[in-house]
Amino acid sequence: MRSYNLFCLKGLDGLVCAVPEDYAVPAFVTDARWAFGGKLDGSTPGPMGFDGTAAATAVRFNGFYLFQSMAPAQG
């Protein structure tokens, strides 16, 4: 599995942006609005709501994967 850096939107519980470790972080992910939520590397289960197949498809087209998590990102 690919490794992802996770960013959580401040003020809106559960919205997470997963960015592959070897990709640039999108311009909309700024310190003012987003907080680093940890790393997902396949050695531990991802946050509830993370779908690896959907992530692979989204990254192919967008370079990132947005999803709604029901639990905090692992850090």
pLDDT, residue 33, reads 96
Contact 74, 46 (CB under 8 A): yes
pLDDT, residue 48, reads 86
pLDDT, residue 57, reads 97
- On whether the pTM is more than 0.75, the answer is yes
**Burial letters for 20-37: b for 16+ Cβ neighbours within 10 Å, e otherwise?**
beeeeeeeebeeeebeeb
- For every one of its 75 residues, what pLDDT tens digit does the chain have, with 9 covering 90 and above? 789 999 999 987 889 999 999 999 999 999 999 999 999 987 777 788 999 999 999 999 999 999 998 765 555
pLDDT, residue 71, reads 62
* Residue 26 in tokens: 């999108």
